[in-house]
């Protein structure tokens, strides 16, 4: 596919609607199979901006253990959670209480608690030696201490194991995105060596029969700021949680066991000059039971200059966005979203 054809196809497909989210099998060891898989990913990214991936290589036991530890953390006394409050961090790391985040200015706040972390020195010590970006940067995460919580060490170890697995999954997916954009498989290799990957443990308390306040959703209607968000299925039997916006209305991203829901973030949409779609989505409040999720926001290295990807810009489709460093862009977006006071 030529450069102009990719951009033209993008504009044509944006005029179409979608009524489901595709499921893509990531098993593709041979080059020809990887090319076919990249074609599926391309179509999903040009239309829905969302897809499920199965056979992704992340052990289910690691996912399950992390959900258990996440639940244990959010059940600790407030003093434990507040000891790692995001207000103590100058880089968006730590605990956030109910309604302290609000992704939509029309709402009162998002009805969830959160614990944010980024790349940790125990995962990639070399990344902490390579710094200098004045916007977003790698920094120490906040962790509960054993003196405050007996389960602190197990919590940290389990969460970092999950983080490493998701980091690897993101890096395995980028060669496929390169093929989907008619680029060499190695195009993103030197841009994802020290990725700005942010992970969030999220807890949505059940309303237990209380009336739903439409202005306090689980997470409001938004698009994501990162390059590539990865979401494991919600760990409950609630049929409705994550929803994706199509032209005809909201579509349920129904949990499918042993998959991840992957979507294109604003950073990637910007990097592809609007060829890939960053689709609006939201999380509904949970009515009867508590709900947990652990999204992982994979980003490129902080110092990558997000110039338009060569196959996504033509004379008829010039660059539509200001060129920025990736770290500066994400820092700007996070600063708009989070209130740490």
Cα dihedral 198/21/46/303 (nearest 10): 10
Please give the angle made by the CA atoms of 260, 267 and 44, to the nearest 5 degrees.
Answer: 45
- Share above pLDDT 70 across residues of the chain, in percent, rounded to a whole number: 85
Look at the block and give the residue holding tokens 């080059």.
31
Q: How far apart are the first and last CA of the chain?
A: 50
What is the pLDDT, as a whole number, of residue 340?
A: 40
133 has pLDDT over 50: no
Q: Where does the chain have alpha helices with state H?
A: 3-13, 31-46, 60-74, 78-82, 125-129, 152-180, 266-271, 326-337
Q: Is the dihedral of CA 278, 279, 285, 291 positive or negative?
A: negative
Least confident of 1-5, 32-36, 41-45, 156-160: 1-5
Give the model's confidence band at 238: pLDDT under 50 very low, under 70 low, under 90 confident, else very high.
Answer: low
Average pLDDT for 271-297:
88
pLDDT in tens, 285-316: 877 788 999 999 998 888 899 999 999 988 88
pTM (2 decimals)?
Answer: 0.88
What is the pLDDT, as a whole number, of residue 67?
A: 95
Least confident of 99-113, 205-219, 265-279, 283-297: 205-219
125 has pLDDT over 80: no
Average pLDDT for 172-185:
94
The Cα 212–Cα 31 span in angstroms is 50
Average pLDDT for 131-143:
67
The Cα 169–Cα 63 span in angstroms is 13
Give the model's confidence band at 137: pLDDT under 50 very low, under 70 low, under 90 confident, else very high.
Answer: low
Q: What is the CATH architecture of 5-133+147-338?
A: Sandwich (2.60)
The Cα 329–Cα 310 span in angstroms is 20
């Amino acid at each position: 596919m030529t450069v102009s054809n990719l951009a033209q196809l993008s504009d044509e497909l944006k005029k179409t609607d979608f009524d489901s989210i595709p499921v893509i099998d990531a098993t593709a060891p041979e080059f020809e199979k990887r090319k076919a898989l990249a074609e599926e990913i391309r179509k999903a990214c040009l239309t829905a901006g969302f897809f499920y991936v199965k056979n992704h290589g992340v052990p289910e036991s690691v996912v399950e253990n992390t959900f258990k530890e996440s639940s244990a953390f959010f059940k600790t006394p407030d003093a434990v959670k507040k000891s790692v409050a995001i207000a103590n961090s100058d880089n968006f790391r730590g605990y956030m209480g109910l309604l302290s985040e609000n992704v939509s200015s029309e709402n009162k706040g998002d009805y969830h608690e959160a614990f944010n972390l980024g790349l940790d020195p125990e995962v990639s010590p070399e990344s902490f030696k390579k710094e200098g970006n004045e916007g977003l940067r790698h920094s120490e995460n906040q962790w509960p201490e054993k003196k405050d919580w007996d389960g602190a060490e197990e919590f940290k170890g389990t969460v970092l194991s999950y983080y490493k697995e998701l980091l690897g999954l993101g890096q395995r997916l980028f060669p496929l995105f390169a093929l989907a954009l008619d680029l060499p498989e190695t195009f993103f290799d030197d841009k994802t060596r020290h990725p700005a990957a942010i992970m969030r443990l999220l807890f949505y308390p059940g309303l237990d029969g209380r009336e739903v306040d439409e202005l306090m959703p689980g997470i409001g209607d938004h698009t994501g700021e990162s390059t590539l968000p990865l979401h494991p299925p919600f760990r409950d039997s609630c049929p409705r949680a994550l929803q994706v916006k199509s032209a005809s209305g909201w579509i349920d991203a129904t949990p499918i066991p042993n998959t991840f829901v992957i979507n294109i973030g604003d950073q990637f949409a910007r990097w592809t000059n609007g060829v890939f779609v960053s689709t609006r989505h939201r999380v509904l409040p949970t009515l009867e039971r508590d709900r947990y999720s652990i999204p992982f926001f994979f980003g490129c290295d902080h110092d990558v200059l997000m110039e338009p990807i060569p196959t996504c810009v033509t004379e008829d489709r010039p660059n539509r966005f200001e060129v920025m460093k990736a770290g500066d862009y994400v820092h700007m977006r996070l600063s708009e979203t989070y209130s740490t006071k």
